[in-house]
Amino acid sequence: MKVLVTGADGFIGSHLTELLLSKGCEVRALCQYNSFNSQGWLEGKKTEDNLEIVFGDVRDPHFCDTICESIDIVFHLAALIAIPYSYSAPNSYVDTNVTGTLNMCQAAKRHGIKRFIQTSTSEVYGTAQYVPIDEDHPLQAQSPYSASKIGADAIATSYFNAFDLPVIIARPFNTYGPRQSARAVIPTIISQIASGVDRIKLGDVSPTRDFNYVLDTCEGFWQLSQCEAAVGEVVNISTNYEISVEATLNKIRDIMNSSVVFEIDNARLRPKTSEVFRLWGNNAKLKKLTGFAPSTSIDEGLTQTVSWFSNPKNLSQYKTDRYNK
């Protein structure tokens, strides 16, 4: 089986690439083209018989057509993901997330791809109107980022309905773990505590999240890709467990035996009507379709994440003195 992973140089994409290789797949891994020739989190991985690393940009339709040649399954993860930056550069999000998805769908259609896994996000639901959130929950564009992902999912769905492209919308909730960008709250806290700071500035810590360990998220992607009944469906990848950001941070502080003080920084607060205050995902559909459900507890996942970030070699790749939008 030959698979393409777009966004393979990123947090989830690099873990997914490793998982697919472990399952015996031939993987074409797309890293965003850059003048530094950086492979992101695939740095140091050599191109082998079953791994082909390519550089490019999903915003180019001709390039997308080229990388879909001879591929069986596309895992489309390439996207701009930072919510704060989407307030400043919304057009970039439309170009990458919406147009990029259009380009990939068109290329997949032309090459007769057997499965197209579109990566969604729980942010498309906005603040929960009811919990746990199932796939029928209304979509609410509370940031330009979430709007672009709603648009990207709609494009992929349209290719299923109009052209019979075998699309599956995989909708992971808040994934965390080793290699996550410091734009997210969990690596922000862990990396700063590991660096020895005694006070950490934060945005609102009252919202709740359904935190999902990265290896569980990746296994969810794989299970869906192998499920014929999932074609044409939107499927949550969630733990069905809710915890506040504040409680999560306190768990991290305890795991790291830290006395760090958390401070609210108004500059880091989202606009009031843009903040997503509650996310708790229903994973019944995933279990029904595939028999799989995430199994890593929040305590186990945080402990593994802390262990990775506490390694000086890993920590050195993070700029803990800067605020990442």
- Residue 291 falls inside a structural domain: no
Residue 57 lies inside a defined structural domain of this protein: yes
CB 58 within 8 A of CB 74: no
Looking up residue 89, the CATH number of its domain turns out to be 3.40.50.720
Q: What is the pLDDT of residue 258?
A: 96
Residue 320, pLDDT score = 75
Residue 144 tokens, joined: 């330009």
325 domain-assigned: no
pLDDT score recorded for residue 234: 98
- pLDDT tens by residue, 262-302: 988 887 788 889 999 999 999 999 999 999 999 999 999 99
Task: Please tell me the predicted confidence (pLDDT) of residue 324.
Answer: 61
Alpha helices in 82-206 (DSSP H): 83-88, 90-93, 100-110, 144-163, 185-194
Phi then psi dihedrals of residue 196, to 5 deg: 95, 10
Domain residues for the domain of 74 are 2-175+211-237
Question: Does residue 70 sit in the same domain as residue 192?
Answer: no
Are residues 191 and 170 both part of a single domain? no
Residues 36 and 154 in one domain: yes
Backbone angles phi, psi at 165, to 5 degrees: -65, 125
DSSP 214: H
With a cut of 50, list the residues of the chain below it in pLDDT. Answer: none
- Indicate the helix (H) or strand (E) that contains 314: helix 312-315
Per the structure, how many domains does the chain have?
A: 2
| Torsion from C-alpha of 269, 274, 277, 281, nearest 10 degrees | -130
CA distance 149 to 86: 12
pLDDT at 49: 78
Token representation of residue 222: 């794989």
pLDDT value of residue 171: 98
Residues 88 and 225 in one domain: yes
pTM: 0.96
Regarding whether 133 and 227 lie in a shared domain, the answer is: yes
pLDDT score of 323: 63
Tell me the torsion sign for CA atoms 208, 124, 40, 182: negative
Structure tokens at 276: 């997503």
**Residue linked to tokens 């559909």:** 285
Give the closest residue to 58 by CA, choosing from 92, 119, 104.
104
Distance CA 39, CA 193 (A): 27
> Is the domain of 84 the same as that of 190?
no
| Closest C-alpha to 4, from 38, 30, 40, 23 | 30
Report yes or no on 323 lying in a domain: no
Which CATH number belongs to the domain containing residue 266 in this structure?
Answer: 3.90.25.10
Report the residue count for the chain: 325
